[in-house]
Chains A and B, each alone.
Chain A
Amino acid sequence: MVKRIRLFFLFLIVFSSCEQWVMPQDPGSGAVEVFDQLWEDVYARYSFFDHKNLDWEQIREEYRPEVNAEMGQLELYELLADMLFELRDGHVNLSTGFNRSRNWEWYQEFPVNYDENLIEESYLGKDYWISGPLQHQMLDDILYVNYRSFAQSISESNLQIVVERARRSRGVIIDVRNNGGGNLSNASLLASAFAEEEMVYARQRIKSGPGTGDFGSWEDMKISPREDGTYLGPVVVLTNRRSYSATTFFAQMMKVLPNAITLGDQTGGGGGTPVFGELTNGWTYRFSATQTIDLEDRQLEDGVLADLRVDLSELAVSRGEDNLIATAIAVIRSNN
């Protein structure tokens, strides 16, 4: 019996210590290891190498020689941030606690086309309605709705008020200029209030392997009419280059509706849903891992083009007018 008990404990010790065999130690946290982890993960999961004609191996050859075991955290951060900047993607960030890298060129090099003070002074005024994140005001017989971030959730009751006011108007202007995105479900909910029937507005595919062209199949993205009531009159959506990510998706949803158009500048893009990752030194990052195309196979990453291209006029602003809103009002009136 003693022999069997000894044998059992021998097995137990052997099996209990097999954790190292099942799960080897985490990768190292030195500068070289951290660089390699980030470079490899981006190479394996980033979705726009082919679309943007980026040679990630070439980028490695450029940056890898600058990494050494002695470099400080700040130096390493700057090197990795510069490398990620090459992706030209607003959904790419490296977060370190002391700084967050980003590429905001998707709007910085383009006209702003939006003046928040002008909106408040000349259009929202002092008695505008606030329904959750939706700020709305009647401009004579047209409802103007301003939504500044899709990260702020819309409730059904918020939306119901907007729909009821829209029904008493000749048309609706939805201003999502400078809306940098947020939660796609808020975009779908808002668009559902203006849809008559279920419609495919885009198609999306997700990375499915380490090759730059490894993707799953294209899947339809749809909007459905809101069950508690919709407004099917004319709708104009105002966009600019700072309309990004979920706002780009919202613009595309509205663009396919027969009763809606987009007006202003094209959106900034952000058509890839970001996936997250972590490095062994404690830093985290994200980058796009999907592709989304419109019904004409155009990448939403490049932005959604405005149906009616209009820039904000300095002359109009100087006389206290937003000429995009003025044009939207004219479009709605011409439809009635």
Chain B
Amino acid sequence: MQAYSQSSGSLFLSTGIQDFTSRDQGFSPQKYSGIRSMSTAIFQLHKPQKTELFQFDFAYGPLENRIGNSMNAMTIGFLTYTYYHKRKTGEKNLHWGWSNQNLFNIRSHNGFSNYSLRYDYFTSLGPSVRYIMPLQWKGQHFEWHTLSHLQVVGFQVKSGYIGANPDGYSGENTTIGNFFESMEPFIIGKDWNFGLTSSFYWELPSENKLGVNYRLDVSGLQGSQPVASFGNALLLVLKVKLW
């Protein structure tokens, strides 16, 4: 009971648009860009010396290259953050911790009759840092949150040299066998995933918060057909205090 009362839970719901650019060498050496819709749900569990965030992301939309060919690109992500901090809160603070990124991208090319579907997935671990700065202006309470993560090590599975199936995939293997045959390491330097999120919140009388969120996501996976993506998103956020 004591542990429960010392913790707090919040839900962040956000939706907005993302300016997204992707290049999958398995499709083309050309970049595909477009504005996608993006939504995010984050559950935050705040404890006296530790804060955990569980973030679910979804983005979908059409992308186009400079010659007018198009594809549809969908991203599903699950990202966790764990930050360690001192007991006292309510003042500006820099918190260090770690993060676990799970990102799945799938692309469907609209101009190719065969091999028009490609995807990539990786899961990785890396350090994370956040900065929280409460502000007051004309009796109103505001808060500025910025956090970032850099993925260091993990593993990845992505479409093969030609088709959607990863290299190493065989119809004669079991699902688990195929998973291990297709798996490659994710190692910083060769592969990249970096994210930065900055939010500005206004506290409502109900203790909930409204905010705007800017988000930057950068990814690059090497291999026989490298894949890279770059996204800038602007989201509206509602923070609901659960307990």
- Interface residues of chain A, those whose CB is within 8 Å of chain B, are 1, 4, 8, 11-12, 15-16, 18-19, 22-23, 26-27, 37, 45, 206-209, 214, 216-217, 219-220, 273-278, 280-282, 284, 286, 289-290
Contact = CB atoms under 8 A, between A and B. Distances in A.
Nearest to B94: A4
B115 A19 contact: no
Contact of A284 (B111, B162, B168): B111
Given A219-B172, A282-B67, A22 B192 contact: yes
Contacts of B116: 276
Contact of B232 (A16, A37, A220): A16
Nearest to A221: B171
A230 to B, nearest CB: 24
B218 A206 contact: no
Centre residue among A12, A214, A276, A286 by max chain B CB count within 10 A: A276
A18 B195 CA distance: 12
Interface stretch (B25-33, B41-49, B79-87): B25-33
A20 to B, nearest CB: 9
Contacts, number: 102
B116 to A, nearest CB: 8
B160 A278 contact: no
Contacts of B160: 206, 208, 216
B218 A208 contact: no
A206 B163 contact: yes
Nearest to A20: B230
Contacts of B146: 8
A154 to B, nearest CB: 18
Contacts of B214: 12
21 contacts: A8-B146, A12-B198, A15-B194, A15-B216, A16-B232, A18-B230, A22-B220, A22-B228, A23-B21, A27-B30, A45-B161, A207-B161, A208-B160, A217-B170, A273-B115, A274-B114, A275-B115, A275-B162, A281-B67, A282-B67, A286-B114
Nearest to B23: A23
Nearest to A277: B28
B189 interface: no
Nearest to A40: B29
Interface in B89-105: 92
A198 to B, nearest CB: 13
Centre residue among B65, B67, B113, B170 by max chain A CB count within 10 A: B67
Contacts of B162: 45, 206-208, 275, 289-290
Contact of A8 (B111, B167, B198): B198
B196 interface: yes
B204 interface: no
Nearest to A282: B67
A102 to B, nearest CB: 16
Nearest to A19: B230
Contacts of A286: 114
B133 interface: yes
Contacts of B168: 216
Interface in B111-136: 111-116, 131, 133
Nearest to B69: A278
B23 to A, nearest CB: 5
A149 B30 CA distance: 34
Given A207-B162, A281-B67, A23 B28 contact: no
Nearest to B218: A22
Contact of B114 (A27, A217, A275): A275
B153 to A, nearest CB: 20
A141 B111 CA distance: 46
Interface in B185-203: 192, 194, 196, 198
Interface string B132-168: 0100000000000010000000000000111100011
A277 B111 CA distance: 9
A275 B216 CA distance: 33
Contacts of A273: 114-115
Contacts of B65: 26, 278
Contacts of A290: 162
A23 B228 contact: yes
Contacts of A22: 192, 218, 220, 228, 230
Contacts of B114: 273-276, 286
A13 B167 CA distance: 38
A37 B30 CA distance: 11
A207 B65 CA distance: 26
A37 B170 contact: no
Contact of B196 (A15, A19, A45): A15
Contacts of B21: 19, 23
Given A206-B163, A208-B161, A278-B30, A26 B111 contact: no
Contacts of A1: 92, 133
The 10 tightest CB contacts between A and B, nearest first, are A276-B112, A282-B67, A19-B230, A26-B30, A289-B162, A208-B161, A23-B228, A275-B115, A278-B28, A206-B162
